[in-house]
Amino acid sequence: MGTIAEPGRGITREELALATRNRGMPLEALVHDVTPVGLHYILVHFDIPMIDAGAWRLRVGGHVRRSLELTIDDIRSHPQVTMPVTMECAGNGRARLDPRPISNPWLDEAIGTALWTGTPLAAILKDAGLEDGTVELVFTGADHGIQDGDEHDYARSLAVGEAMRPEVLLAYGMNGRPLEPQHGFPLRLLVPGWYGMTSVKWLRSIEAVTEPFRGYQQAVAYHYRRSDDDPGEPVSRMRPRAVMIPPGFPDFPDRRRYLDAGSVTVRGRAWSGHAPVSRVELGVGGDWSEAVLEDPVGRWAWRAWSCSWEATPGEHLLSCRATDEAGNTQPLEPSWNVQGMGNNLVQEVRVTVR
Ligand SMILES: Nc1nc2c(c(=O)[nH]1)N[C@H]1C(S)=C(S)[C@@H](COP(=O)(O)O)O[C@H]1N2
Ligand SMILES: [Mo]
Protein backbone atom coordinates (compact mmCIF):
# COMPACT_ATOMS: atom_id res chain seq x y z
CA MET A 1 0.00 0.00 0.00
CA GLY A 2 3.03 2.25 0.21
CA THR A 3 6.18 2.63 2.23
CA ILE A 4 6.64 4.91 5.21
CA ALA A 5 10.06 6.44 5.90
CA GLU A 6 11.70 5.68 9.24
CA PRO A 7 10.91 8.58 11.61
CA GLY A 8 13.46 11.35 11.10
CA ARG A 9 14.93 9.72 7.95
CA GLY A 10 15.86 12.18 5.19
CA ILE A 11 14.69 12.20 1.58
CA THR A 12 15.82 9.09 -0.32
CA ARG A 13 17.50 9.04 -3.73
CA GLU A 14 14.24 7.68 -5.21
CA GLU A 15 12.22 10.56 -3.75
CA LEU A 16 14.81 13.01 -5.11
CA ALA A 17 14.42 11.42 -8.57
CA LEU A 18 10.64 11.91 -8.32
CA ALA A 19 10.99 15.48 -7.07
CA THR A 20 13.23 16.57 -9.93
CA ARG A 21 10.68 15.25 -12.47
CA ASN A 22 7.59 16.44 -10.60
CA ARG A 23 8.30 19.94 -9.50
CA GLY A 24 6.14 22.51 -7.79
CA MET A 25 5.19 26.08 -8.58
CA PRO A 26 7.79 28.50 -7.15
CA LEU A 27 5.69 30.45 -4.64
CA GLU A 28 6.81 33.85 -5.97
CA ALA A 29 4.62 32.94 -9.00
CA LEU A 30 1.60 33.49 -6.71
CA VAL A 31 1.67 37.10 -7.99
CA HIS A 32 -0.01 35.84 -11.19
CA ASP A 33 -3.77 35.28 -11.47
CA VAL A 34 -2.94 32.68 -14.11
CA THR A 35 0.26 30.70 -13.67
CA PRO A 36 2.63 30.78 -16.67
CA VAL A 37 2.61 27.25 -18.14
CA GLY A 38 6.27 26.65 -17.35
CA LEU A 39 5.71 27.46 -13.66
CA HIS A 40 2.58 25.31 -13.14
CA TYR A 41 3.30 22.24 -10.99
CA ILE A 42 3.69 18.86 -12.70
CA LEU A 43 2.85 15.37 -11.49
CA VAL A 44 3.50 12.40 -13.76
CA HIS A 45 3.43 8.91 -12.25
CA PHE A 46 5.14 7.03 -15.08
CA ASP A 47 6.72 8.39 -18.31
CA ILE A 48 5.31 11.28 -20.37
CA PRO A 49 3.84 9.67 -23.50
CA MET A 50 4.91 11.51 -26.67
CA ILE A 51 1.74 11.48 -28.75
CA ASP A 52 1.27 12.16 -32.47
CA ALA A 53 -1.95 14.18 -32.48
CA GLY A 54 -2.69 13.20 -36.10
CA ALA A 55 -2.76 9.48 -35.27
CA TRP A 56 -4.41 9.95 -31.85
CA ARG A 57 -8.10 9.03 -31.30
CA LEU A 58 -10.41 9.27 -28.28
CA ARG A 59 -12.59 6.17 -27.97
CA VAL A 60 -15.88 6.48 -26.10
CA GLY A 61 -17.45 3.08 -25.50
CA GLY A 62 -18.69 0.51 -23.02
CA HIS A 63 -22.32 0.79 -21.90
CA VAL A 64 -23.32 3.37 -24.55
CA ARG A 65 -25.80 3.39 -27.44
CA ARG A 66 -23.19 4.60 -29.93
CA SER A 67 -19.45 4.05 -29.63
CA LEU A 68 -17.40 7.02 -30.81
CA GLU A 69 -13.90 7.40 -32.17
CA LEU A 70 -12.99 11.08 -32.21
CA THR A 71 -10.06 12.97 -33.68
CA ILE A 72 -8.74 16.09 -31.97
CA ASP A 73 -10.47 18.15 -34.71
CA ASP A 74 -13.80 16.42 -33.93
CA ILE A 75 -13.39 17.49 -30.31
CA ARG A 76 -12.35 21.02 -31.26
CA SER A 77 -15.48 21.34 -33.42
CA HIS A 78 -17.63 21.04 -30.27
CA PRO A 79 -18.58 24.18 -28.28
CA GLN A 80 -15.45 25.73 -26.77
CA VAL A 81 -15.16 26.92 -23.17
CA THR A 82 -12.20 28.68 -21.53
CA MET A 83 -11.97 29.05 -17.75
CA PRO A 84 -9.39 29.58 -15.02
CA VAL A 85 -9.06 26.53 -12.80
CA THR A 86 -6.81 26.02 -9.78
CA MET A 87 -5.40 22.53 -9.54
CA GLU A 88 -3.54 20.97 -6.64
CA CYS A 89 -1.98 17.55 -6.15
CA ALA A 90 -3.61 15.48 -3.40
CA GLY A 91 -0.09 14.77 -2.14
CA ASN A 92 0.66 18.47 -1.56
CA GLY A 93 2.04 18.77 2.00
CA ARG A 94 3.11 15.10 2.15
CA ALA A 95 6.75 15.83 2.99
CA ARG A 96 5.60 17.80 6.03
CA LEU A 97 4.27 14.61 7.62
CA ASP A 98 6.36 12.65 10.09
CA PRO A 99 6.82 9.79 9.55
CA ARG A 100 6.79 10.57 5.83
CA PRO A 101 4.92 8.42 3.32
CA ILE A 102 7.38 7.70 0.47
CA SER A 103 6.13 9.27 -2.75
CA ASN A 104 6.65 12.64 -4.38
CA PRO A 105 7.87 14.74 -1.41
CA TRP A 106 5.76 17.88 -1.84
CA LEU A 107 5.98 20.77 0.61
CA ASP A 108 3.41 23.51 -0.27
CA GLU A 109 4.04 24.05 -4.00
CA ALA A 110 2.01 21.38 -5.85
CA ILE A 111 -0.37 24.00 -7.21
CA GLY A 112 -1.12 26.14 -10.23
CA THR A 113 -3.92 27.97 -11.98
CA ALA A 114 -4.27 27.77 -15.75
CA LEU A 115 -6.74 29.10 -18.29
CA TRP A 116 -8.01 25.79 -19.61
CA THR A 117 -9.78 25.52 -22.96
CA GLY A 118 -11.89 22.55 -23.96
CA THR A 119 -15.38 21.25 -24.48
CA PRO A 120 -17.82 20.12 -21.78
CA LEU A 121 -17.60 16.36 -21.30
CA ALA A 122 -21.41 16.12 -20.88
CA ALA A 123 -22.06 16.95 -24.55
CA ILE A 124 -19.79 14.15 -25.75
CA LEU A 125 -21.38 11.70 -23.32
CA LYS A 126 -24.79 12.74 -24.69
CA ASP A 127 -23.59 12.03 -28.25
CA ALA A 128 -22.57 8.54 -27.15
CA GLY A 129 -25.80 8.08 -25.12
CA LEU A 130 -25.24 6.44 -21.74
CA GLU A 131 -27.35 3.29 -21.37
CA ASP A 132 -29.50 2.85 -18.26
CA GLY A 133 -27.51 1.19 -15.51
CA THR A 134 -24.29 3.14 -16.19
CA VAL A 135 -22.80 4.07 -12.80
CA GLU A 136 -19.39 5.49 -13.68
CA LEU A 137 -17.19 6.62 -16.53
CA VAL A 138 -13.63 5.27 -16.62
CA PHE A 139 -10.98 7.62 -18.04
CA THR A 140 -7.77 5.96 -19.25
CA GLY A 141 -4.52 7.68 -20.15
CA ALA A 142 -1.82 6.57 -22.58
CA ASP A 143 0.78 6.15 -19.82
CA HIS A 144 1.68 2.79 -18.34
CA GLY A 145 3.69 1.56 -15.37
CA ILE A 146 3.79 -0.36 -12.12
CA GLN A 147 2.80 0.93 -8.71
CA ASP A 148 2.91 -1.31 -5.64
CA GLY A 149 3.39 -4.35 -7.91
CA ASP A 150 0.25 -3.51 -9.89
CA GLU A 151 0.91 -2.98 -13.62
CA HIS A 152 -1.64 -0.69 -15.25
CA ASP A 153 -2.44 2.18 -17.55
CA TYR A 154 -3.19 5.30 -15.47
CA ALA A 155 -6.98 5.30 -15.11
CA ARG A 156 -9.55 6.92 -12.85
CA SER A 157 -13.34 6.92 -12.76
CA LEU A 158 -16.07 9.42 -11.93
CA ALA A 159 -19.70 8.80 -10.98
CA VAL A 160 -22.09 9.79 -13.77
CA GLY A 161 -23.47 12.75 -11.79
CA GLU A 162 -19.97 14.23 -11.29
CA ALA A 163 -18.94 13.59 -14.90
CA MET A 164 -22.04 15.45 -16.16
CA ARG A 165 -21.30 18.63 -14.16
CA PRO A 166 -21.07 21.54 -16.61
CA GLU A 167 -17.58 22.60 -15.48
CA VAL A 168 -16.03 19.20 -16.28
CA LEU A 169 -14.05 19.60 -19.52
CA LEU A 170 -12.15 17.64 -22.09
CA ALA A 171 -9.30 20.15 -22.31
CA TYR A 172 -6.95 20.66 -25.25
CA GLY A 173 -5.68 24.16 -24.44
CA MET A 174 -3.74 25.72 -21.55
CA ASN A 175 -3.16 29.49 -21.35
CA GLY A 176 -4.16 29.89 -25.01
CA ARG A 177 -1.86 27.25 -26.47
CA PRO A 178 -2.12 23.50 -27.09
CA LEU A 179 -1.31 21.45 -23.99
CA GLU A 180 2.39 20.87 -23.36
CA PRO A 181 3.43 17.17 -23.39
CA GLN A 182 3.79 17.10 -19.58
CA HIS A 183 0.27 18.47 -19.06
CA GLY A 184 -1.49 15.83 -21.18
CA PHE A 185 -1.15 16.63 -24.91
CA PRO A 186 -3.32 16.33 -26.90
CA LEU A 187 -6.29 15.97 -24.52
CA ARG A 188 -6.92 15.65 -20.81
CA LEU A 189 -9.88 15.46 -18.50
CA LEU A 190 -10.27 18.50 -16.24
CA VAL A 191 -12.40 18.20 -13.10
CA PRO A 192 -12.50 21.61 -11.36
CA GLY A 193 -12.65 21.51 -7.56
CA TRP A 194 -11.14 18.03 -7.28
CA TYR A 195 -7.54 17.20 -6.49
CA GLY A 196 -5.45 16.73 -9.63
CA MET A 197 -5.41 12.89 -9.82
CA THR A 198 -8.93 12.99 -11.26
CA SER A 199 -7.89 15.09 -14.25
CA VAL A 200 -6.53 12.22 -16.37
CA LYS A 201 -3.89 13.34 -18.88
CA TRP A 202 -3.14 11.87 -22.35
CA LEU A 203 -6.73 10.67 -22.39
CA ARG A 204 -7.30 7.84 -24.87
CA SER A 205 -10.58 6.26 -23.79
CA ILE A 206 -13.76 6.88 -21.85
CA GLU A 207 -15.74 3.79 -20.93
CA ALA A 208 -19.25 3.67 -19.44
CA VAL A 209 -19.40 0.90 -16.82
CA THR A 210 -22.16 -0.70 -14.74
CA GLU A 211 -19.98 -1.57 -11.72
CA PRO A 212 -17.68 0.76 -9.75
CA PHE A 213 -14.18 0.77 -11.27
CA ARG A 214 -11.61 -1.11 -9.17
CA GLY A 215 -8.38 -0.04 -10.91
CA TYR A 216 -5.31 0.69 -8.78
CA GLN A 217 -5.42 4.51 -9.02
CA GLN A 218 -9.09 4.44 -8.02
CA ALA A 219 -9.52 1.66 -5.46
CA VAL A 220 -6.08 1.40 -3.84
CA ALA A 221 -4.39 4.78 -4.27
CA TYR A 222 -6.03 8.09 -3.26
CA HIS A 223 -7.67 7.07 0.00
CA TYR A 224 -7.45 8.63 3.44
CA ARG A 225 -6.27 5.49 5.31
CA ARG A 226 -5.00 5.51 8.89
CA SER A 227 -3.31 2.10 8.37
CA ASP A 228 -2.81 -0.42 5.56
CA ASP A 229 -5.98 -2.32 6.44
CA ASP A 230 -8.17 0.76 6.93
CA PRO A 231 -10.50 0.95 3.87
CA GLY A 232 -10.49 4.75 4.30
CA GLU A 233 -12.46 7.36 2.40
CA PRO A 234 -11.68 8.12 -1.24
CA VAL A 235 -9.89 11.42 -1.88
CA SER A 236 -12.03 13.82 -3.93
CA ARG A 237 -12.27 17.60 -3.59
CA MET A 238 -9.46 19.96 -2.60
CA ARG A 239 -9.39 20.93 1.05
CA PRO A 240 -9.02 24.66 1.73
CA ARG A 241 -5.51 26.06 1.60
CA ALA A 242 -3.90 29.50 1.68
CA VAL A 243 -0.32 30.04 0.59
CA MET A 244 1.79 33.19 0.81
CA ILE A 245 4.63 34.54 -1.25
CA PRO A 246 7.46 34.18 1.26
CA PRO A 247 8.29 37.82 2.08
CA GLY A 248 11.74 39.38 1.81
CA PHE A 249 14.61 37.63 0.06
CA PRO A 250 16.06 34.14 0.50
CA ASP A 251 19.38 32.66 1.45
CA PHE A 252 20.83 30.14 -0.99
CA PRO A 253 20.80 27.22 -0.34
CA ASP A 254 18.72 27.02 2.85
CA ARG A 255 16.08 29.51 1.59
CA ARG A 256 15.65 31.15 4.95
CA ARG A 257 14.03 34.59 4.47
CA TYR A 258 15.41 38.03 5.40
CA LEU A 259 13.68 41.39 5.41
CA ASP A 260 13.96 44.86 6.90
CA ALA A 261 11.84 46.05 9.82
CA GLY A 262 8.78 48.16 9.01
CA SER A 263 5.41 47.84 7.32
CA VAL A 264 5.16 44.72 5.11
CA THR A 265 2.23 43.58 2.97
CA VAL A 266 2.13 39.80 2.93
CA ARG A 267 0.34 38.47 -0.16
CA GLY A 268 -0.90 35.10 -1.30
CA ARG A 269 -3.73 33.06 -2.77
CA ALA A 270 -6.36 30.76 -1.30
CA TRP A 271 -8.75 28.14 -2.66
CA SER A 272 -11.03 25.25 -1.66
CA GLY A 273 -12.71 22.64 -3.84
CA HIS A 274 -15.65 22.35 -1.44
CA ALA A 275 -16.95 25.92 -1.41
CA PRO A 276 -15.65 29.42 -2.13
CA VAL A 277 -13.02 30.71 0.31
CA SER A 278 -14.63 33.15 2.74
CA ARG A 279 -11.76 34.03 5.05
CA VAL A 280 -7.97 34.09 5.20
CA GLU A 281 -5.89 34.88 8.29
CA LEU A 282 -2.20 35.66 8.63
CA GLY A 283 -0.52 34.24 11.71
CA VAL A 284 2.60 35.82 13.19
CA GLY A 285 4.03 33.72 15.99
CA GLY A 286 0.54 32.35 16.70
CA ASP A 287 -1.38 35.69 16.63
CA TRP A 288 -3.90 35.72 13.79
CA SER A 289 -5.16 38.75 11.83
CA GLU A 290 -7.74 38.98 9.07
CA ALA A 291 -6.46 39.27 5.53
CA VAL A 292 -8.23 41.32 2.85
CA LEU A 293 -9.66 39.17 0.06
CA GLU A 294 -9.86 40.05 -3.62
CA ASP A 295 -12.49 38.60 -5.94
CA PRO A 296 -11.78 35.02 -7.00
CA VAL A 297 -10.12 34.71 -10.41
CA GLY A 298 -13.06 32.43 -11.30
CA ARG A 299 -15.57 30.12 -9.63
CA TRP A 300 -13.02 27.29 -9.79
CA ALA A 301 -9.90 29.35 -9.22
CA TRP A 302 -8.03 30.81 -6.27
CA ARG A 303 -8.50 34.31 -4.87
CA ALA A 304 -5.75 36.73 -3.89
CA TRP A 305 -5.40 37.94 -0.30
CA SER A 306 -3.14 40.42 1.46
CA CYS A 307 -2.44 41.37 5.03
CA SER A 308 -0.25 44.09 6.46
CA TRP A 309 2.28 43.31 9.15
CA GLU A 310 4.49 45.62 11.23
CA ALA A 311 7.72 43.63 11.10
CA THR A 312 9.89 44.11 14.19
CA PRO A 313 13.54 42.98 14.40
CA GLY A 314 13.97 39.36 15.39
CA GLU A 315 12.91 35.86 14.30
CA HIS A 316 9.27 35.33 13.26
CA LEU A 317 7.16 32.38 12.13
CA LEU A 318 4.50 33.38 9.58
CA SER A 319 1.51 31.20 8.73
CA CYS A 320 -1.69 31.60 6.78
CA ARG A 321 -5.02 29.83 7.06
CA ALA A 322 -8.03 29.67 4.72
CA THR A 323 -11.64 28.92 5.64
CA ASP A 324 -14.38 28.22 3.10
CA GLU A 325 -18.11 28.98 3.05
CA ALA A 326 -18.84 25.40 4.11
CA GLY A 327 -16.86 26.04 7.32
CA ASN A 328 -13.85 23.89 6.35
CA THR A 329 -10.58 25.32 7.60
CA GLN A 330 -6.91 24.39 7.75
CA PRO A 331 -5.48 22.48 10.70
CA LEU A 332 -2.57 23.64 12.85
CA GLU A 333 -1.52 20.00 13.33
CA PRO A 334 -1.27 17.63 10.35
CA SER A 335 -3.74 14.79 10.02
CA TRP A 336 -1.62 11.77 9.13
CA ASN A 337 -2.59 9.05 6.65
CA VAL A 338 -0.67 6.21 4.99
CA GLN A 339 -0.49 7.79 1.53
CA GLY A 340 0.13 11.35 2.73
CA MET A 341 -3.06 12.69 1.15
CA GLY A 342 -4.75 16.06 1.63
CA ASN A 343 -2.31 17.46 4.20
CA ASN A 344 -3.53 21.06 4.25
CA LEU A 345 -1.58 21.92 7.39
CA VAL A 346 -0.98 25.69 7.48
CA GLN A 347 2.12 26.89 5.63
CA GLU A 348 5.02 28.03 7.83
CA VAL A 349 7.60 30.59 6.72
CA ARG A 350 10.48 31.56 9.01
CA VAL A 351 11.77 35.08 8.54
CA THR A 352 14.60 37.07 10.08
CA VAL A 353 13.73 40.77 10.34
CA ARG A 354 16.75 43.11 10.48
N1 LIG B 1 -2.57 9.87 -17.36
C2 LIG B 1 -2.22 10.48 -16.22
N3 LIG B 1 -2.99 11.48 -15.75
C4 LIG B 1 -2.65 12.13 -14.62
C5 LIG B 1 -1.51 11.75 -13.88
C6 LIG B 1 -0.70 10.70 -14.40
O7 LIG B 1 0.35 10.34 -13.83
N8 LIG B 1 -1.10 10.10 -15.56
N9 LIG B 1 -1.23 12.40 -12.69
C10 LIG B 1 -2.38 12.99 -12.02
C11 LIG B 1 -2.05 13.76 -10.85
S12 LIG B 1 -1.73 12.87 -9.44
C13 LIG B 1 -2.08 15.12 -10.85
S14 LIG B 1 -1.83 15.98 -9.41
C15 LIG B 1 -2.35 15.88 -12.08
C16 LIG B 1 -1.23 16.86 -12.36
O17 LIG B 1 -1.49 17.60 -13.53
P18 LIG B 1 -0.37 18.57 -14.11
O19 LIG B 1 0.92 17.78 -14.21
O20 LIG B 1 -0.87 19.04 -15.42
O21 LIG B 1 -0.22 19.70 -13.11
O22 LIG B 1 -2.49 15.03 -13.22
C23 LIG B 1 -3.20 13.85 -12.97
N24 LIG B 1 -3.44 13.15 -14.20
MO1 LIG C 1 -1.43 14.35 -7.71
Residue 9: what pLDDT? 86
Residue 279: what pLDDT? 98
CB-CB contact of 349 with 247 (8 Å): yes
Cα of 90 vs centre of ligand 1, distance in Å, is 10
Would the pTM count as exceeding 0.95?
Answer: yes
Atom of ligand 1 nearest to the CA of 45: 7
Q: How far apart are CA 294 and CA 347, in angstroms?
A: 20
Task: Give the mean pLDDT of the chain.
Answer: 97
Model confidence at 2: pLDDT above 80: no
Atom of ligand 1 nearest to the CA of 155: 1
Instruction: Work out the average pLDDT over 130-146.
Output: 98
Dihedral in degrees, nearest 10, Cα atoms 70, 75, 79, 85:
130
Residue 8: what pLDDT? 81
Cα of 89 vs centre of ligand 2, distance in Å, is 4
- The pLDDT > 70 percentage for the chain reads 100
Residue 345: what pLDDT? 98
Burial (Cβ within 10 Å: 0-12, 13-18, ≥19) of residue 209: middle
* Amino acid at the residue 65: R
Q: How far apart are CA 81 and CA 170, in angstroms?
A: 10
Residue 1: what pLDDT? 62
CB-CB contact of 243 with 252 (8 Å): no
Residue range 188-218, pLDDT digits in tens: 999 999 999 999 999 999 999 999 999 999 9
Residue range 36-65, pLDDT digits in tens: 999 999 999 999 999 999 999 999 999 999
Instruction: Work out the average pLDDT over 117-139.
Output: 98
Instruction: Work out the average pLDDT over 314-325.
Output: 98
Binding-site residues, ligand 1, Cβ < 6 A: 40-45, 87, 89, 141, 143, 154, 183, 196-197, 199-202
- φ, ψ for residue 284 (rounded to 5)? -120, 110
